[in-house]
Amino acid sequence: QVQLEESGGGLVRPGGSLRLSCAASGRTFSGHTMGWFRQAPGKGREFVAIRRSDNSKYYADSVKGRFTISRDSAKNTLFLQMNSLQFEDTAVYYCAFTPTRLIQSRVWSEENYDYWGQGTQVTVSS
């Protein structure tokens, strides 16, 4: 079984930056999809960014140009660098993983991911 643990959330001013981390442990898979979703108060879980095992990356339109997803293979850790943060970015951010290299049309849906972290709170406030 795969376990995910997020860290790096916190309080930041508009225009500021945060770097989220997701440490993975347990069984590894040659083919996989791993990334980030977020959930704002009173709203559903929203796709943010995903990296596939072939190193292809996909971003939600709302974060393109501001967020960057990356991976440190040696440490088995996924990162989300968040720059130019806005009030609308306030949410609980969740790391997600599935042991399949999802086709592009399926990376957007939370229904296609089998493992989730506990979440880390990001609050953007002046």
Cα(36)–Cα(4) distance, rounded to whole angstroms? 12
pLDDT for res 108: 95
pLDDT for res 29: 76
pLDDT for res 73: 84
pLDDT for res 6: 96
CB-hemisphere CA count at 13 Å for 23?
Answer: 5
Both tokens of 40, joined, read: 């704002």
Cα(122)–Cα(12) distance, rounded to whole angstroms? 8
Tens digit of each residue's pLDDT, the chain (126 residues): 899 999 999 999 999 999 999 999 987 778 999 999 999 999 999 999 999 999 999 999 999 999 999 999 888 899 999 999 999 999 999 999 999 999 999 999 999 999 999 999 999 999
Sign of CA dihedral 86, 67, 21, 40: positive
The answer to whether 69 and 61 are in contact (CB under 8 A) is no
